[in-house]
Structures are given as C-alpha cells and as structure tokens.
Amino acid sequence: MTRATAILVCTAVLSCGTGCLHLDVPRDFLVVSSWTDAFEVPPAAHIAAVAADEAQLRVSSFRDDWDGNLDYWYQALEHDLVDRRGYTLLQRADRQDAKGLSGREMVFSVTHAGISKKYLVCVFDAGQRIRVVELTAAAEVFDRHLEAVQAAIATLR
C-alpha cells in the first residue's frame, strides 16, 4: 500500500464519522438506495426510500461551500421553492435531530407533471454540511406518511 493510498483510506474512514447518515426509516418505506461517498470532503451521503403508494423519502447531505447558517439556508430554500418554482407554503415547524441539532421544516403543495403533490423539506446546518430530509407524495396520500416521517426526522444522525 502506497503512502498516498493509506492517507486516502484513513481520511475516508475518519471523515465518515461526520458524513454518514442514519435515519430510522418509517415502516411504510423500503430503502431503495443508500450510499456514502467517503472520498468527498466532507463525505456526501444519501438515503432514498419508497412507500407502496409511491411516496418518496430522501435524506441527503450536501457540502456547504458557502458556510451559511440555518436561517440563511432556510430562507434561501423557501425563496427558491416559492418564488422561483411556484410552490405554496402550507406550514412550517422547528425540528431537532437525534443529537439535538436544530432544523427547520416546511411543507408545500405543488402541481408537478400534472399531479397535485405535497412536499416536506427539513433542513439542518451541520457545520460543513447541509442535511436535508425530504418527503414527496401525491396530495391525497401525503398526510398518511407525514407524522411517521416527522418522527423519523428526530432520529437523524
């Protein structure tokens, strides 16, 4: 093993401690994709799950290239979804992850591909990373998943 390879492996292993994602996915969902890119610094991560009624749950971890704080990202996200994409904000709430980190949740309605949908997004500022939990489903089935997903957000770590 070359010295460079060893450094890369060590970096990946060490950094996974801050990059890996975990969420207790609600029972109605099956995880269809889960990965961690330990070679991105800091590591990127992703969990995708789907319910039988095609509700989709996703957890993502993005690199914060701009060092924004929670208030900033929350407002930027709301601005983009409402003012640029035409979403309608239905409700908002404060959340906490498993480690007590503060997050902001918003629920929107939007018509996409001719289908009336609802969309939940909860954003956390985890230092160098932005963590985002999303739920989208047809409007008529969204509410049946909402409570379980909100409970799952509290298990994010």
Q: Is 21 in the site for other proteins (CB under 8 A)?
A: no
Distance CA 26, CA 123 (A): 19
Interface region with other proteins, contact rule CB under 8 A, candidates 14-22, 28-36, 56-64, 93-101: 56-64
Please state the closest distance from residue 14 (CB atom) to other proteins, in A.
23
Interface region with other proteins, contact rule CB under 8 A, candidates 1-9, 18-26, 93-101, 106-114: 106-114
In eight-state DSSP terms, residue 43 is: P
Please classify residue 141 by burial: count the beta carbons closer than 10 Å to its beta carbon, then call 0-12 exposed, 13-18 middle and 19+ buried: middle
Q: Of 62, 75, 40, whose CA–CA distance to 130 is shortest?
A: 62
The residues binding other proteins (CB under 8 A) are: 56, 58, 60, 62-66, 76-77, 80-81, 84-87, 110-115, 117, 119, 121, 130, 132, 134, 136
